[in-house]
Amino acid sequence: MSRSPAQLPLGVGLRDDSTFSNFYSGANAALVDHLQRQFEDDGEPFLYLWGAPGSGRSHLLQAACHEASARDLRTLYLPLEELGHFPPLMLEDVERLDLVAIDDLERVVGRQRWEEGLFHAFNRLRDSGKRLVICADRPPRQLEVSLPDLASRLTWGVTFHLALPGDEDRMRALQLRARLRGMQLPDEVARYILHRGSREFGELLRSLEILDNASLSAKRKLTIPFVKKALDW
């Protein structure tokens, strides 16, 4: 894990591997393009992303923060699944940052202090010309937000639905990660891993790490028999 020096103390460190370069966009190409162009002069200052777990929400939020940091911009990543049990003090003075990325918004919906804190943070970021990206598990109008002003703010900007990857996209995403490790993952081997392995993509990446180490040690290419042996399948 790495932490940008520009992050506020209560922010959470970014995963080193959560970047745009290793995210297979597939059906979400338009969204990824908007996120990458967010820091251009004509970029959209507020984006709202929603999708089911496993759709890549957290990866893309952290990728946006990595992109901002590479441009020497100040960022804050707030996964509310981890931080939502704290009072919203980390939202104070966010307007001095260039990008604020809020994950798991649904975790604090209906809680008065958090809703008020988010509303005021939104206004300060907007008035300062800064960027805000919010992720949740459903579209803004389906969140049971108690504060009408916050509910209204969440519909501003551009809303994107993050589609869950189908089997073909999952295979291409796994092959992309393999290439970044210097491995060639043939289609038939990738399909076998997807069929035999976990549906959780993070678990598949851990399997890929095991295969990387095993293939380097044995100086073997990835084949179905080799994968079976290396992963004890």
pLDDT profile of the chain (233 residues), mean per 10: 40 74 88 86 86 90 93 93 88 93 95 96 95 96 95 93 89 93 94 90 89 91 94 92
Per-residue model confidence (pLDDT) at position 196: 92
Give me the pLDDT at residue 13, please: 66
Give the span between the Cα atoms of 176 and 165, in whole angstroms. Answer: 14
pLDDT at 8: 41
> Residue 129 has what DSSP assignment?
T
- pLDDT for 40 equals 80
> Domains in the chain, please, with CATH?
26-161 (3.40.50.300), 167-230 (1.10.8.60)
Whole-number pLDDT of residue 10: 46
Helix-, strand-, coil-residue percentages of the chain, each rounded to 5: 50, 10, 40
In this prediction, residue 11 carries a pLDDT of 53
Among candidates 167, 114, 105, which has minimal Cα distance to 142?
105
Are the CB atoms for 117 and 153 separated by under 8 Å?
A: no
